[in-house]
């Protein structure tokens, strides 16, 4: 059995992807391919999330209320990041389209990516395969960039990101979990 060393960044991406699939059936190998993570790591990720109370005992259903609580209150402390030097990349956090219509800022933040088209302060992606996965799945990109707001944003930005994440993933929260 794997020794649990706590949540890892890719665990958040796995849970977000499962939520995006809604009620569609999925297999670990498909998640692995979509997220650029090995199938074994998907299994380990689901085990860690189960231990943390973020998925059900079958590892198929994300506990939405608990996951949102983790994202808002724990995520910025467990996976902190600070913007670095200026580089070319893909917009994230308040610079991504999900937030840029609500937050006006001259300072851009980007995931470093040589084929990117935006210049901004570098922010490390949540996990190694995040950029490739985001280029294939715009909904996942939107959610990962909103998660970056939770990691680096100011209070007002974080509140808006929470609203957007909740609207996207946790509609009917009270009815769904008791």
Q: Where does residue 58 rank: exposed (0-12), middle (13-18), buried (19+ CB within 10 A)?
A: exposed
pLDDT at res. 77: 93
Q: What is the pLDDT of residues 26-69, one digit of tens each?
A: 999 999 999 999 999 999 999 999 999 999 988 889 999 999 99
pLDDT at res. 4: 60
pLDDT at res. 151: 95
Q: What is the pLDDT of residues 80-94, one digit of tens each?
A: 999 999 999 999 999
pLDDT at res. 171: 62
Looking at the predicted structure, is the pLDDT value of residue 172 above 90?
no
Q: Which domains does the chain show, CATH number per domain?
A: 9-79 (1.10.10), 86-169 (no CATH)
* pLDDT more than 90, % of the chain: 79
CB 87 within 8 A of CB 96: no
pLDDT at res. 177: 37
Looking at the predicted structure, is the pLDDT value of residue 111 above 50?
yes
Q: What is the mean pLDDT of residues 113-117?
A: 95
Share the mean pLDDT of the chain: 90
């Amino acid at each position: 059995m794997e020794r649990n060393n706590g949540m890892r960044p890719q665990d958040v991406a796995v849970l977000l992807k499962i939520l995006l699939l809604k009620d569609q059936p999925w297999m670990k190998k498909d998640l692995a391919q979509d997220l650029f993570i090995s199938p074994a790591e998907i299994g380990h990720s689901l085990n860690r999330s189960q231990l943390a109370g973020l998925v059900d005992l079958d590892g198929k259903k994300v506990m939405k209320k608990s996951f949102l609580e983790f994202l808002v209150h724990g995520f910025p402390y467990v996976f902190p990041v600070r913007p670095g030097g200026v580089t070319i990349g893909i917009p994230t956090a308040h610079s991504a389209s999900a937030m840029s219509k609500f937050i006006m800022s001259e300072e851009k933040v980007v995931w470093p990516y040589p084929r990117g088209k935006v210049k901004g302060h570098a922010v490390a992606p949540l996990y190694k395969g995040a950029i490739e996965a985001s280029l294939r799945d715009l909904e996942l990109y939107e959610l990962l960039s909103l998660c970056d707001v939770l990691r680096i944003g100011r209070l007002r930005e974080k509140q808006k990101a929470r609203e957007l994440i909740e609207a996207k993933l946790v509609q009917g929260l009270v009815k769904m979990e008791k």
